[in-house]
Amino acid sequence: MEVSFHTYGQQKLKSLILIYFFIGNIKAECPQPEAHENTIPSDQALLLNEFPEGSEITIECGNGYFKESGSDIVRCISDKWTEPELICKKKDCGPIQPQPHMHFDFSEGTLFGAKAKLSCDDGYTIRGLSFARCYNAGWRFSSECEIVTCGRPSEVANGRNSWNSEDVPKTGEIIIYSCDKGYSINGNGRIECLNSGEYNSQPPECI
């Protein structure tokens, strides 16, 4: 019985020694770095597979943010990354440069990702999208305000109109109708192109 106990004790001791050396040989390392609210690991850090104790990586501001202050280095200490000191501030696009006949509604603000609604003066209409968006490089939009136009004025039998341009009438422009000799105007002989792109009246007749 004594020999058996002694043998069992030796085996247990050997097992404990092996476990001790096994644990002691495990190298402490940190997990793959992750993105935080407004910081991300640098491209160089993402290419690495191992992050042993004491290693350092660089972080940077995420899309839509820029560095305001703090260090961009984090370190692996006791299997954990140190808290980032880098302070990133959200991009502010500010006001949009004035555009001809265009107005802007900044109800969503001017920070990264915000949209500004576009509108035009009376007599003008938007060509393109009706909003601009704030990106890293600033406001992006290609819309413009075009003056409203009406269709070419209709011809009338036994008469004529005053429009002699190849272009179509613009808002506010007036067309005058007249009749040939021996005919008289029935209706409105003076029609105007309105902000809606329609005329204020149907063309007259010459009777």
Mean per-residue pLDDT pooled into runs of 10, the chain (207 residues): 48 49 58 87 88 92 93 93 93 96 97 97 95 95 96 95 94 96 95 95 95
Q: Which amino acid is at 40?
A: I
Tell me the Ramachandran region of residue 10: left when phi exceeds 0, alpha when psi lies from -120 to 50, beta otherwise: alpha
Q: Which domain holds residue 173?
A: 149-207
Q: What is the pLDDT of residue 46?
A: 87
Same domain, 138 and 169: no
Q: Report the CATH number at residue 166.
A: 2.10.70.10
Q: Is residue 131 part of a domain?
A: yes
Q: What is the pLDDT of residue 16?
A: 46
Q: What is the pLDDT of residue 48?
A: 87
Q: Is residue 13 part of a domain?
A: no
Q: Is residue 17 part of a domain?
A: no
Cα(130)–Cα(118) distance, integer angstroms: 5
Cα(177)–Cα(193) distance, integer angstroms: 14
Contact 133, 121 (CB under 8 A): no
Q: What is the pLDDT of residue 34?
A: 86
Q: What is the pLDDT of residue 25?
A: 45
Q: What is the pLDDT of residue 197?
A: 94
Q: Is residue 52 part of a domain?
A: yes
Residue 67, SS3 per DSSP: strand
Q: Is residue 18 part of a domain?
A: no
**At a CB cut-off of 8 Å and minimum separation 6, what does 13 contact?**
none
Number of domains in the chain: 3
Cα(75)–Cα(146) distance, integer angstroms: 57
User: Which of 62, 90, 118 finishes a domain?
Assistant: 90
Cα(78)–Cα(86) distance, integer angstroms: 21
Q: Is residue 80 part of a domain?
A: yes
Same domain, 80 and 131: no
Same domain, 122 and 174: no
Tell me the Ramachandran region of residue 177: left when phi exceeds 0, alpha when psi lies from -120 to 50, beta otherwise: beta
Q: Is residue 54 part of a domain?
A: yes
User: Which of 46, 66, 90 finishes a domain?
Assistant: 90
Q: Is residue 168 part of a domain?
A: yes
Q: Is 163 exposed, middle or buried (0-12, 13-18, 19+ CB in 10 A)?
A: middle
Same domain, 154 and 134: no
Q: How far is CA 116 from CA 15, 98, 130, 134, 146, in A?
A: 70, 13, 9, 8, 19
Same domain, 120 and 157: no
